Amino acid sequence: MASDDVWILGIRMTKFGKHPDKDSLDLGAEAAMAALADGGVTMRDMGVLAAGNLLGVSGYGQQLQKQIGQTGIPVYNVANACATGATALRTAIMAIKAGECDMGLAVGVEKLAGAGLLGAGGQAKKDADTWERSGRMGAVAPVDGRIGTDGMPGVFAQVGMEYGHKYGGATFELFARISEKNHAHSTLNPLATYTKRMSLDQIMNDVMIAYPNTRSMCSANCDGAAAAVVVSGEKLKTLGPDQRRRAVKVSASVLTSDPWQDGCQVLPDVNTLTRNAATQAYEAAGVSPSDRDLVELHDCFATAELVHYDNLQLCAPGEAVPFFESGAPWRDGSTPVNVSGGLESKGHPISATGIANIWEVCHHLRGEAGDRQIEGATVGLAHVIGLGSACGVHILERAAA
């Protein structure tokens, strides 16, 4: 029977960082088994598995099953850029909403330690003075250095600078202060890749990657995994009182891609699909932007965090700089953002990030975040975006009892 209500029953992430002794299957199995245990269920209870992985083995989900339990259920192998984990979770949610099963497992995992700057390259250029099409994708892909950039550091540097030119106030120092906030938050997160506070001077004088983002203002490539068990509202009613108490309601699960607009076939636009996803999520959840108690957003670069304040409607249009200057996104501010340390400190094992951001929000809604707990948190938002482009937004709510 189709279900309108879907809840996160169990969720876990591994320690993010360097794991030279573990491969992607080891990490995925660790996260999956921990999420199942957290929900008080086993693989025999699962009706679907959605496994997100970009750089690992072919048929990753089936390989993972061999480690955690082969029960014959449908397996979906998911790849959707940095939104892979969120897309895997949404796949399991849709199966439950369709009535195909009453429980499902979503996993996201990546081995990225030492991978360097993903997307910073581009295809080799010909020596000719004029650019030539080459194949179907030749018209849209190998444009780096000719009319702009399709590398992530360059794209997000441009996004931040564009916002500053349009609205003012987005200085190099301001972007560095955003990074300073996230590194400070990470000191309270034992699962983060980096847990060291960095001074503004250290951040601004670090290696420049793509102005205005220095190395410490960029997301940290690392190894890691995260997994979540989702359950229908009807099934949840049959479970134990502690399971019901700790369950977190998925009030909205939204995935968007780029709508057509001038230039969208050449230059990435990280703003429009995020605004669209946020608007749809608020409408689906029946909440307003002011109802959020915390936000985990995709700060792949410090510049990205600033523009997503605006895109996620944490502030009025064009007011992202004053919003940050007010202190609102700090842990003790009115709208805490990235209290986990964000991608800049927590780390960014691409396919795991979407579920890891949701894990952080769930941790606070359950009241289990320890020293970094946002007191009284009842509503949270998790956001990821991957160039291509794909944007996932989930709104989560604490159980009533």
Q: Which CATH number fits domain 6-115+222-249: 3.40.462.40, 3.40.47.10, 1.25.60.10, 2.60.40.1180?
A: 3.40.47.10
Provide the sign of the torsion angle of the four alpha carbons 6, 294, 392, 46, taken in this order: negative
Q: What pLDDT sits at residue 383? A: 98
Where, residue-wise, is CATH 3.40.47.10 in the chain?
Answer: 6-115+222-249, 152-218+252-398
pLDDT in tens, 350-370: 999 999 999 999 999 999 999
The pTM score is 0.92
Contact 80, 45 (CB under 8 A): no
| Peptide bond before residue 212 is cis, with ω within 30 degrees of 0 | yes
Q: What pLDDT sits at residue 150? A: 66
For the chain, residues with pLDDT lower than 50 are 119-125, 137, 139-142
Task: Find the angle CA(233)-CA(238)-CA(243) to the nearest 5 degrees.
Answer: 80
Q: What pLDDT sits at residue 333? A: 97
Domain with residues 152-218+252-398, CATH architecture? 3-Layer(aba) Sandwich (3.40)
The whole-angstrom separation of Cα 224 and Cα 128 is: 43
Q: What pLDDT sits at residue 140? A: 47
Q: What pLDDT sits at residue 266? A: 66
DSSP assignment letter at 3:
-
